[in-house]
Amino acid sequence: MSKLDKYILSIDQGTTSSRAILFDSNYQIVSIGQKEFTQFFPHSGWVEHDPEEIWSSVLDSCNIAINKAKINSNQIASIGITNQRETTVVWDKESGVPVYKAIVWQDRRTSDECQKLRNLGHEESVTKKTGLVLDPYFCATKISWILDNVDDARNKANSGKLLFGTIDSFLLWRLSNKKVHSTDATNASRTLLYNIHESRWDDDLLRLFNIPKSMLPKVLDSASNFGDTDKSFFGSSIPICSLIGDQPSALVGQACFKPGMVKSTYGTGCFVLINTGEVPVQSNNKLLTTIAYQINNKPCYALEGSIFVAGAAIQWLRDKLEFIDAADQSDVLAMNADPGEDVYLVPAFVGLGAPYWDSDCRGALFGLTRNTGPAEITKAALESVCYQTCDLLNAISNDLGHDMLSTIRVDGGMSASNWTMQMLADLINLPVERPKNLETTALGAAYFAGMQIGFYPSTEEFAESWKTEKQFSSKMSDAKRERKQLGWKDAVSRTLSK
């Protein structure tokens, strides 16, 4: 069978849906399968998923993509998996049944526990080892919460009967029919348990969070031989050759392999990553030091800024306020907003991420008048994503130098919005480049899965294939930009709980 008859299957397991995308030998999309799944909000600030529903949605998405392409499973050369990071699953080693729902990265239930650890003076040592801050966003306190709040979970964990994984690890374990319990360095680096400088699970951190080491998966490169799928799922056994978290995968899909290259992904949240190369840079502006990817046992590092609410603000407009029926209607409303109104939405529905890291503040609207309506609030929601990106880029500039940033590559669902991307370029005063292929998260995992087996070429050749679909440049006056940014800073300062 020739290379032209072979494909790479990328499983993109996101926060609101699971997708499967088949790529051909030229990185072109052949078919897409997608299934949404339920979001659970049992208490204020809590966000959960059903791991079994995620598992079913992944299998369904893969089968949809394979059937749409009208191919046989033996034509799939390898599989790459990219996933929502930090979302935490604990399951029984024997039965394979999760002991509790998946606690999602957005979940804030362990805010008090994180504050206790900060009060005890642990944050500095944790940050030094992990590059992260003590925040409910990450896995460690989620794992501890499950062990402490599910009947007999602590005893089972101490007896070696429970396993932990981020979603990639859970899917790998299921797809391999319980044979492989592994993850990659990008996902491990988001647990608060992994020493990113020494590339190992850290015994001191495990003691701090009271988590048995036996629960943890083996950590491998982002491109590696992770095992094979069981024949029962797709009709033939397929090698799984890449695991990588969604934001690092988008960095790879955007071909940001050189230090200084920046990508910003606009999905449920927004995540800005800048490649810092082989040297981990410690931020002085509350950004995260993280692993961008790891190949040949060599980690490449990044500085990251995380925004919890981006596309989720548009979902809120659609599902709760019912201003729109579909996300793409938000552009039309924003264009029709009264230009004389300066309405600010601080979308702290689950607190604020970088550079504020305030778990306790909640969303707020400022600048309302009698003329404020759906159009003005929708515009404020779209602008809030741009303002938050400004905050992150300012923090990166302060850490690395103001001449470091020259352009930003964007992807994710919201990047399809011309209005939002133009406003982003206006407010950050930098060119914004949108690629021809917006599926960069899925593409990154597919590329590594193909590279691992020699199906795809070197990173240099892959980078040469990257193409811009549209570039946005600032059209806003300096005075207007400064006025709008000052209004945003004032709105945030009024929202913060500290």
Which pair of structure tokens corresponds to residue 281? 């840079």
Instruction: Give the pLDDT score at 324.
Output: 85
Give burial (CB, 10 Å; 0-12/13-18/19+) of 350. buried
Q: Taking residues 15-23, what's their average pLDDT? A: 94
* Residues 413-458 pLDDT 10s: 889 899 999 999 999 999 999 999 888 999 999 999 999 999 999 9
3-state secondary structure of 472: strand
254-435+467-498 sits in which CATH class? alpha beta
Instruction: Give the pLDDT score at 3.
Output: 67
CB 409 within 8 A of CB 433: yes
Which pair of structure tokens corresponds to residue 478? 């300096």
Shared fold status for 3-245 and 254-435+467-498? yes
Amino acid, res. 399:
D
The residues, any chain, with a CB within 8 Å of residue 322's CB and separated by 6 or more, are none
* Radius of gyration from C-alpha coordinates of the chain: 22
Phi-psi region of 155 (alpha: psi -120 to 50; beta: other; left: phi over 0): alpha
Q: Is 217's pLDDT higher than 70?
A: yes
Strands 29-36 and 48-49: what pairing? unpaired
Instruction: Give the pLDDT score at 354.
Output: 85
3-state secondary structure of 398: helix
Ranges of each domain in the chain: 3-245, 254-435+467-498
Element containing residue 334 per DSSP (H, E): helix 330-335
CB 410 within 8 A of CB 263: yes
The residues, any chain, with a CB within 8 Å of residue 80's CB and separated by 6 or more, are 8, 9, 10, 11, 240, 241, 242, 243, 244, 444, 445, 446, 447, 448, 449, 450
Segments in 216-336 forming alpha helices (H) = 231-234, 246-253, 311-319, 330-335
Q: Which residue has the tokens 């020739």?
A: 2
Q: Is 309's pLDDT higher than 70?
A: yes
* Residues 68-124 pLDDT 10s: 999 998 999 999 999 999 999 999 999 999 999 999 998 999 999 999 999 999 999
Q: Taking residues 326-338, what's their average pLDDT? A: 88
Give me the chain's average pLDDT, please: 93
Query: Looking at the domain 3-245, which fold is it?
Result: Nucleotidyltransferase; domain 5 (3.30.420)
Q: Which residue has the tokens 């790479």?
A: 8
Give the rounded percent of residues in the chain with a pLDDT score beyond 90: 80
Question: Could you tell me which of 324, 331, 294, 73 has the C-alpha nearest to residue 189?
Answer: 294
CB 15 within 8 A of CB 169: no
Which 8-state DSSP code applies to residue 213? G
* Residues 451-475 pLDDT 10s: 999 999 999 999 999 999 999 999 9
